[in-house]
Structures are given as structure tokens and as C-alpha cells.
Amino acid sequence: MSEPATSEAEIGPGPMAFGCPRTDSLGDVVIHPDRERWQAVATELLADGFTMCIDLTAVDYLTYAAPRALPAGVQPERFEVVASFMNQERRERVRARIQVPADDPRMASLYELFPGSDFMEREVFDMFGVVFEGHPDLSRILMPETWEGHPLRKDYGIGSIPVQFKGAPGPR
């Protein structure tokens, strides 16, 4: 079941959490930190018992036509890095949605605070081209080192690979 479409104007100013605008989605708290404060907000989350970064990914909104549900004051950008954290003692989750501009796709790495974010940040770098500053080994993880471009970007060209099925006649 998907969330109802809400325009940015409908959300308006609202509550804050961890010094960031807060919204709720399907029972989870969603915070919207700006990327300059990202590492400080992650430090606050860790201090508050959110000891696990359970997911980190990105979204490319290049071709997204509908208005995005963002709190007032949060400027939508082409890329959004989404990280989910868990506090096991209180059985709580917090999701962070960080806007990342296309002309400067970079943000601070969580590696020092959450070492388990290592491969997730590398995957986002590899597939979307978001650079995580301070990451100890920001290298490709899925694509060959010689690969050019970032395959999950909406403006990445669609290629094709000819497939030869067993028993099928060869190319004509």
C-alpha cells in the first residue's frame, strides 16, 4: 500500500526531531536533515540509541513528475539518500531523507559512526555517483572499475547484450 500523494505545500511547517524537520510515514519517524548537518544528525541518532544503520540507498528523481512530500523549508533535489536506523532497545526506527543536488552529489560518510554502512555507501556511489566524503575505500562494488557512468541514474543510457539461448540458431 502506498502513501497518499501530498504536495510540499500541504505539509507546511511542523514538528522537529534531532534538529531536523520531521514527518511520519507508515508509523516510522522520518527526518529531513540537510547534507551539511548530516554527520552531526547521525551522531545524535547514535547517542540516542539508534545503534544500527539498517539500510542506506538513493533515489534519482530526475523524471519524477508528481510533487514530492517534503516539509516546508526542505528544497527538493534530483538525488535523495535514504538511510534507516534502528533502536533495538526501544524497538523504534528512524528514516532520514537527505537531499543531494545533481551538480554536487556528495555528502559525509557514516562509516566512522556506523561501520556497517561501508558497502551500502559504495553501492550508492557505484550506481548513482553520490560521493561519500571520508569513506575509507570509496570504490566500485558492483560494476567493473573500468565502467563509465552510474547505471541507476535516470539519464543513463539503456544498453543491450545479445543473448544466445541453448539450442537456438546462431546470429543470422
Per-residue 3-state assignment (H helix, E strand, C coil) for 31-57: ECCCHHHHHHHHHHHHHCCCCEEEEEE
- Does any domain span residue 16? yes
Which of 42-46, 92-96, 102-106, 164-168 is predicted with the least confidence, judged by mean pLDDT? Answer: 164-168
Domain that holds residue 25: 8-133
**pLDDT tier for residue 155 given thresholds of 50, 70 and 90:** very high
Overall domain count for the chain: 1
- Does any domain span residue 143? no
> Can you tell me the mean pLDDT for 68-89?
95
Mean pLDDT of the chain: 90
- Does any domain span residue 152? no
- Does any domain span residue 141? no
**Tell me, what CATH number does 48's domain have?**
3.30.460.80
Compute the radius of gyration of the chain from its Cα atoms: 19
- Does any domain span residue 13? yes
Residue found under cell 543536488: 101
Residue 121 CB neighbour total at 10 angstroms:
27
Q: What letter does residue 39 receive in the DSSP assignment?
A: H
User: Per-residue pLDDT for 167 more than 80?
Assistant: no
Cβ distance 8 to 70 under 8 Å?
yes
Distance, CA of 134 to CA of 80 (rounded, Å):
19
User: Per-residue pLDDT for 93 more than 60?
Assistant: yes
Residue found under cell 555528502: 107
**Which cell numbers hold the place of 94?**
528512524
Global confidence as pTM: 0.84
Q: What's the pLDDT score for residue 172?
A: 62
Share of the chain above pLDDT 90, in %: 78
- Does any domain span residue 124? yes
- Does any domain span residue 170? no
User: Per-residue pLDDT for 2 more than 60?
Assistant: no
Nearest to 85 by CA among 125, 124, 56, 118: 56
**pLDDT tier for residue 50 given thresholds of 50, 70 and 90:** very high
- Does any domain span residue 25? yes
User: Per-residue pLDDT for 5 more than 50?
Assistant: no
